Structure 1
Amino acid sequence: MGKLQSKISFHSTKYRADGSVEKTGPGRGVQQHNPVHADAVTSVAALKADLCVSGGKDKSVVVCNWRSGAVLRRFVGHEHEVTKVTCALDSNRIFSASRDKTVMMWELHRTSGPSQHFPGHDLVVTGLAVSPDATQLCTGSRDNTVCKWDVETGGCLGRAAVSRNLVTHLCWVPGEPYVIQTSEDKTVKMWDSRELRVAHTFPGKQHIQTCCDVSQDGRYVLSSSSGFAGEGCEATFAGTCLNRQMVKILWGLKCSRTLWDLRQTRSRVREYKGHFQTTTSCVFLPRGPALAPSIATSSYDSKVKVWDQATAACLATACLEGAGPLASLAVCDSSTLLCATFNSGIHSLRMRNGADLEELAVF
């Protein structure tokens, strides 16, 4: 399953009824690099301008140049599959979570062994988020707990348990003490990291929430959903006015967008529907000149989709045939998107004019 599939690229273009473009099939011009992992890639994240970090079922954490496919560092220390990787952008510190119930910190320019351990969960660690200043780490697990750690000492600063809170993903809000969390209990929660308590829970969805992302300005939140045969499988958009009092929250629901005051009881929901299997990852895309804000999602249906953030229209679809389930997305620069897959390593995609995807390389 971990072998690189040959000829995985775009060949033909299909124009869909909704106006989006779907590219499928083997083609030419895609650079084929040696695979950086020996098995399925479970998570990928941007590290520096030309570097990304990834983790996989082969238990390793790899730093590579996504432009050339060259491996710079390979860290080995986990006893089981790596489930999540993250880092503070432009830093030299990398964090990895694993099915071995631990989290480790690695230094880009130090020894190959971990420079810090964060043990403390009773089950597989499935959520990982580092604070913007890289001094604190939040972890979440299927043991229903969220923990906060001091990065320098490795000491646990707090541990909170919420019934049925099987964590699937964590994301720190830029410039704020808040952490967004998705869960198998079908909710999206907002944690106040200072007291490690749930500050707000968004209205529950019909399916497990698999992933979340926060826009760079800290105003908007995305979550993705499990599902099958087109039921569920969506991404949900929310916007937050995240001041210290958290007065208002903007929550998108079914093709409308509404400013929701937390002091009121009514809520509305908007969704981005189009995938046919579980949507595994969702990310905000950089906003270019004269381009409307957009988002990207990946799914078990082997497709990456780009959506107009405001209208929920699907702008482009890339079908990575043979790649199997798509596990994770990462934005590297203003035009490059990385996609971790179960069967064919990591794919790099170039975004053109906010409405097209071109595959560049597989590594």
Structure 2
Amino acid sequence: MGKLQSKIRRRSDLYRTNRDEGAENVPVNQVLQYDPAHTDAINCVTTISSDLCVSGGSDQAVVVYNWRAGHLHQSLQAHTKEVTKVKCVPGTSLIFSASRDKTVLMWDLSSGDEPLQEFCGHELVVNGLDVSPDASQICTGSRDNSMCLWDIESGECLQRKTISRNLVTHVCWVPGGTSIAQTSEDKTIKVWDSRSWQICNTFPAKQHIQTHCAVSSNSHYLLSSSNGFGGQGCEATLWDLRQPGCKVVEYRGHLQTTACCTFLPCSQGAPPMVATSSHDCSVKVWDQNTAACLCTLTLGGSGPLVSLASCDVTGLLCASFNTGLHLLTLSQGAEPHLRETARF
């Protein structure tokens, strides 16, 4: 591939950094302000190691940031339109990024800042992206109504299927298996068999567009989130994958579209929990089994909160349209508490 780099614009005046002022002296309730990761809205975030996160934004950049130390690690630029999704391969330095430019790029942090592979074939924005458990394939979904399966090494499209009205919003590979969950603007959740590239299950349609999905680490449960307004819709739903189409509980409380949902790692003795982020500028943590809202954090002025990623048992990263990335700390216990500790 040819070199497709462009200069990243800095917004150093947008945030105040405390790194040179001795972060260890900052009061516990004060939010640390680091240099911004992006120059525009952030659409997605994930973690690649115990201290590095990867995000994609409307500035067309894929950014690797050290969230513990509060500094930019690497900026990857080759997309020609905004980045919609990022995924990493655990235990490696491989990163995949999807974009409105209709492509997916593969990067290796150990090999510089040029993409190693380009996956081309979709006709519209790529909104769904995930990596197979054995890291040999990726799955992509697009607003062109198609789902594609790719070989990572060769970049070859192995499977493609187009279904009417299947405007893909997110895809998620079931850990340790061959199934792929997929949400869509047709309000359904579909489960694909990656071997036959056929739909093996379709969940009952919800009342609103399904914006995102996540699968528990034990592969037993699926989370999905809904769009909405004024408290209508706006919920997340827990489904039992062992009983196809079985709705367990709903998590209701957001006032606008719930854009992201995720399972949280829990400390020993703590109840299983899930987290959601919404266009209403709030992040909520829920008891997975009872659907009780355990705590809520509102990030005023942040705009839509569109993506979440767990750092560890106590850390949660949240991507926003207006105020960058937020590092949240969750205190688990009898009364869980969520607070913002850093912003970048």
- Residue 297 of structure 2 corresponds to which residue in structure 1? 318
Cα distance, 1:90 vs. partner? 2.5
Whole-angstrom distance in 1 between the partners of 2:240 and 2:14: 39
Cα distance, 1:360 vs. partner? 1.2
Q: In the alignment, residue 338 of structure 2 is paired with which amino acid? A: L
- Residue 303 of structure 1 corresponds to which residue in structure 2? 282
Contact 1:330/1:339 (<8 A) preserved: yes
Whole-angstrom distance in 1 between the partners of 2:163 and 2:200: 13
Considering Cα pairs closer than 8 Å and 6+ residues apart, tell me whether 1 or 2 has the greater RCO.
1
Contact 1:5/1:322 (<8 A) preserved: no
The SS at the match of 1:216 is coil
Whole-angstrom distance in 2 between the partners of 1:73 and 1:153: 25
Q: Within 5 Å, which residues of 2 pair with 1:38-57?
A: 38-57=39-58
The SS at the match of 2:158 is strand
- Residue 358 of structure 1 corresponds to which residue in structure 2? 339
- Residue 317 of structure 2 corresponds to which residue in structure 1? 338
- Residue 25 of structure 2 corresponds to which residue in structure 1? none
Q: 1:5 to 1:281 in 2, by over 3 A?
A: farther
- Residue 264 of structure 1 corresponds to which residue in structure 2? none
Q: In the alignment, residue 301 of structure 1 is paired with which amino acid? A: D
Contact 1:5/1:343 (<8 A) preserved: no
Alignment gaps of 5+ in structure 2:
1-9, 17-27
Whole-angstrom distance in 2 between the partners of 1:49 and 1:297: 22
TM-score, normalised relative to structure 2: 0.91
Q: In the alignment, residue 103 of structure 2 is paired with which amino acid? A: T
The SS at the match of 2:80 is coil
Contact 2:226/2:259 (<8 A) preserved: yes
Q: Within 5 Å, which residues of 2 pair with 1:67-86?
A: 67-86=68-87
Q: 1:137 to 1:86 in 2, by over 3 A?
A: same
- Residue 265 of structure 1 corresponds to which residue in structure 2? none
Whole-angstrom distance in 1 between the partners of 2:110 and 2:89: 15
Following TM superposition, the consecutive aligned residue runs of length 4 or more in structure 1 with deviations greater than 6 angstroms are none
Alignment gaps of 5+ in structure 1:
8-26, 242-247, 258-269
Whole-angstrom distance in 1 between the partners of 2:290 and 2:214: 19
Q: In the alignment, residue 296 of structure 1 is paired with which amino acid? A: A
Percentage identity across paired residues of the two chains: 55
**CA deviation vs aligned residue, 1:178-222 (integer Å, no higher than 9, x gap):** 111000000011111111111100000000000000011111100
**CA deviation vs aligned residue, 1:19-74 (integer Å, no higher than 9, x gap):** xxxxxxxx942110010100000000011111110000000001111112211111
Whole-angstrom distance in 1 between the partners of 2:121 and 2:245: 35
- Residue 271 of structure 1 corresponds to which residue in structure 2? 250
The SS at the match of 2:111 is coil
Whole-angstrom distance in 2 between the partners of 1:172 and 1:240: 13
Cα distance, 1:250 vs. partner? 6.6
Q: 1:28 to 1:351 in 2, by over 3 A?
A: closer
